[in-house]
Structure 1
Amino acid sequence: MRKKKIFLGAYVNINNAQNINCKSLASYLDKEKYVIKTLKVSLKEYQKLNSEISYITVYKSIYILSNFFAFLYGIMWSDLSYLPKHHSTPILVLKIAKIFNKKVFTTIEGNICDLKYKSMIDSFGSKQKMLKYFSLIPNIYGITNHISSNTDCGIQLNKKPLFLGVDRKIFTNKRKIKKLRNIIFIGSLIKRKRIIELIDIAKEFDDLNFHIIGSGPLKSDILKYSSKNVILYDHINNSEISNILINMDLNILLSKSEGFPKVILEAAAASVPSIVYNNYGMQDIIQTNHNGFVLKNKKEVIKKIHELIRSPKLLHDNSIAAYELSKEFDWNIQIKKWELEIDSLL
């Protein structure tokens, strides 16, 4: 039987959540059933890539033209295309795909309609532009139950979410869990991540270290307002994060507008539980005081950190359970669900 041709529309040699997810999909999809093509960006430095995958190069020097033809070639070559990067996928290519009846699907990984927080309407510039784009993609999945069931602005999502996975083999859970010493944040240094709120929380805990990994426009504010117990890292490759997580005790993410943050699963794979807010459905994934902590506000976060300082056992138990949570989202398990969905679309 002929292998099915799958195009993954992301740049797998650039560190970004969607790119990393497509890199994992390319690695885990069954090569006995599928032939995979994906994208890579031309870079000066050498990068080792998966030899089982074919790559279409996007050239930075002529990005707009090169990106257009890379997506066009990938979609026209494929039996089915997965297109998660909504602002990189040229809308003209989607129109051409529709004319030629090419099969495409996508996932939505964040807040779509709730204008109280950063939404996809904001990122597209208007609701009309957003709806125009997604009208060209017939198969759309949320990545959590919350996203799939909380869309009321005209985009028709599949009722069943398509969960992303974590590449657990990269991480280790051999760290010794004694007491709370090191708290980590991994993400973009932007307003939506509420990083200044984290800086304020750090000032409440002189005996704890707060590690911040990321880049973005708020870096100078962090350097200006941080207390001495805040450690801001320079650029860290994704491959180095697993080594840093070995020495961390708690992951913290204070954004109120997310999808399913990849860092929660990556931290869990290293036996590091997370504190998150309850605005985007994480209570469907994390059970508070069992495998992490889903809280309402800054006051609750400070109270919970004090509790974890007083109770090393609570931290220990949640760390063990967080690791068990990561097993449920191992790509070895999730890829079977993706393959079932891919086969149903072909």
Structure 2
Amino acid sequence: MEINKIIITNLPAFYKINLFNKISECEKIFVVFTGKTAEVRNEDFFKKDLIKFDYIDLSGRSSSIKYLLLLKLLITANYKELVIGGWDEPLLYIAAFFSPKKKNSVIVESSIYESQTQGLKAEIKKFFLKRQNCAYASGKSQIQLLKALGFNGAIKKTKGVGIFNYVNQPVYEGRKNVKDFLYVGRLSEEKNLSLLMRVFSQLADFNLHIIGFGPLEKHLKSTAPKNVKFYGSIDNNKLHIYYTNFDVLLLPSKSEPWGLVVEEALNNGMPVIASNKVGCVDEVLVDGYNGLVFTLDDNSDDNLRNTILQIADIITYNKFRHNISDMDFSKISDEQVKIYTR
């Protein structure tokens, strides 16, 4: 079996499938889904029925069977490149050390903000990176991580972690006021939602709408001010309704490797406020162009509150909406595919 790329990743998330489908239009690929789960997701987050490439799904198999099947593939396949989707499970290390270094590449989506660069875990990553010839880094903070870990191979910036289900950009329509803010994502500690609760308790003239579920749901609901509404889980194919009906997406994360919701919101014409710890800042979200970036520090509450008041200025807000209407997300996705296939 002759293959341009063998790609190893954890799960058939829809945005990864979209990316791999596009790559498979340019060259022969074979994808190994390891089945490693990180967190609970909506059912429509995984879309195996959309797959247009050859693959094997190792979900539900024992570790020994997974190792045997992967090694058999690497022995029998005539491949040019092995693309390893991260460094967070033993199977990926086995692949890296069994495959020749000159064929090995790694996808780096962890950022300098949440990934350790000192200590035992960092040393293990450095050891792993010595087996990589090339790294596909999604953005600036991922490149900073690679350099902090001493990686000396080629680095290709992809400016993305996959291809979301983009739509044609909405025609620009100015709005008369900005009152409704939206959060979409996990209700968990790293998302920094307690910051939103504190700030919106001081901004009674604005509303915060929260979509998602997670371990902090009960606590957040018990501490939320009256201008915060929870919607629970919403299917991915229905999120566009909320992006278009509300005014601004908020992503205040303490650490966020990328932030696919930022791309989704922008694609639906919605300006974004994100913390400086979000991976797609400067890659997709550009401060002062299509949204605003605030700094997480000892004055985070004031920083976020002032940023919300700044974007609520209707001239500023409509300028962002106008700029967003000129963004070409099909071109952005094509550029990501080119990085993997050139």
Q: Shorter-chain TM-score category?
A: 0.7 to 0.9
Match in the other structure for 1:204: 202
Shift of 1:280: 6.0
Per-residue deviation, residues 19-78 of structure 1 (Å, max 9, x unmatched): 444312212125253244343859x99955235212212233x35345434544554534
Whole-angstrom CA distance in 2 between matches of 1:228 and 1:96: 57
1:226 and 2:218 aligned: no
State the match for 2:133 in structure 1. 138
Match of 2:287 in 1: 288
Q: What secondary structure does 1:198 align onto?
A: helix
Q: Secondary structure at the match of 1:33?
A: coil
Q: What percent identity do the matched residue pairs reach? A: 17
Q: Which residue is 1:243 aligned to?
A: 241
8 Å contact from structure 2 (residues 19, 163) kept in 1: no
Q: Is structure 2 residue 143 aligned with structure 1 residue 148? A: yes
Tell me, which stretches of 5 or more residues in structure 1 are unaligned?
A: 14-18, 341-346
Residues 137-179 of structure 1: per-residue CA shift (max 9 Å, x gap) = 2322322234324632323353542222544634763685522
How many residue pairs end up in the alignment? 325
Residue 23 of structure 2 aligns with which residue? Answer: 29
1:7–1:153 distance in 2 versus 1, CA, 3 Å: closer
**Which residue does the alignment assign to 1:312?**
314
Following superposition, the deviation at residue 264 of structure 1 comes to 1.6
Conservation of the 8 A alpha-carbon contact between 2:263 and 2:284: no
> What secondary structure sits across from 2:166 in the alignment?
helix
* 3-state SS of 2:110 partner: coil
1:169 to 142, 166, 169: 166
In structure 2, the CA distance between the partners of 1:39 and 1:240, relative to structure 1 (3 Å rule), is farther
The AA in structure 2 aligned to 1:271 is G
1: distance between equivalents of 2:64 and 2:117? 26
Q: 1:154 to 1:212 in 2, by over 3 A?
A: same
Are residues 272 and 252 of structure 1, via their aligned partners in 2, closer, same or farther at CA, if it must alter by over 3 Å?
A: same
1:105 Cα offset (Å): 1.1
Structure 2 residue matching 1:319: 3-state secondary structure: helix
Note if contact 1:199-1:227 (Cα within 8 Å) is conserved in structure 2. Answer: yes
Within 5 Å, which residues of 2 pair with 1:1-346? 4-13=3-12, 19-31=13-25, 33-39=27-33, 49-50=49-50, 52-60=52-60, 62-69=61-68, 71-73=70-72, 75-76=74-75, 77=77, 78-88=79-89, 90=91, 91-98=93-100, 103-112=103-112, 117-121=113-117, 126-149=121-144, 151-156=147-152, 158-164=154-160, 166-167=163-164, 169-170=166-167, 173=170, 177-178=174-175, 179-279=177-277, 282-283=281-282, 285-296=284-295, 297-309=300-312, 311-325=313-327, 327=329, 330-340=332-342
CA distance in 2, matches of 1:38, 1:239: 26
| Equivalent-residue separation in structure 1 for 2:135 and 2:277 (angstroms) | 22
The two structures, once aligned, show a CA RMSD in angstroms of 3.4
CA distance in 2, matches of 1:31, 1:284: 25
